[in-house]
Structure 1
Amino acid sequence: MHEREFRAFVLIAETGRMDVAARRLGYSQPAITYQVQRLEESLGFKLFTRHPSGARLTGDGRMVLPSVRAVLLLIDSMRDAHGPQSGQGRDLECSA
């Protein structure tokens, strides 16, 4: 699991739109879709139901959203405590 996947997940959950999340994060829509698919594969369940009008959280997605937000807050607080960096090590790599 990577930080960018978590950030994409949270932004899609907040906006309900993959295209909006892609634009705000500076990615293409296929890249955002790929990130969500990778996260879903890692977790073993679907996070969103896709509709022509956007994306809605599944029950599982609603359940993990607070935990993902907490992880991102922790990452941001560690980064803030360490000070400005060169941008290396921006991904959170987890193996189960």
Structure 2
Amino acid sequence: MHEREFRAFVSIAEIGRMDQAAKALGYSQPAISYQIKCLEQMLGTKLFTRDSTGAQLTREGRMILPSARAVLALIDSMKGVCAAA
């Protein structure tokens, strides 16, 4: 699992659309779809249902969202410590 996959996951969960999340993160839509596919394969579950209106979290996606946010907060904290050193 990679930071960019967690950032993509959280961004899509918050925005509700892959295309807009991709734009917000500076990725192409195919790139963000690939990151989610990789994360889903690693976790062995679908994280989103997708349709013409956007992407909605599955039950499993809702369950891991707090952990993904915590991972990103820890990464950001570690980056802050290194930047201050």
TM range (shorter): over 0.9
Identical counterparts, % of pairs: 68
Q: How does 1:1-96 map to 2 (within 5 A)?
A: 1-83=1-83
Q: Normalising to structure 1: TM-score of the pair?
A: 0.86
Deviations 1:7-47 (A, max 9, x none): 00000000000000000111110000000000000000000
Q: Normalising to structure 2: TM-score of the pair?
A: 0.97
SS at 1:56 equivalent: strand
Which runs of structure 1 show a deviation greater than 6 angstroms over 4 or more consecutive aligned residues? none
The aligned length equals 84
Alpha-carbon distance in structure 2 between the residues aligned to 1:19 and 1:50: 12
Instruction: Compare the two structures and name the one with the higher helix fraction.
Output: 2
Long gaps (5+) in structure 1: 85-96
Which structure ranks higher in relative contact order (CA pairs < 8 Å, sequence separation ≥ 6)?
1
Long gaps (5+) in structure 2: none
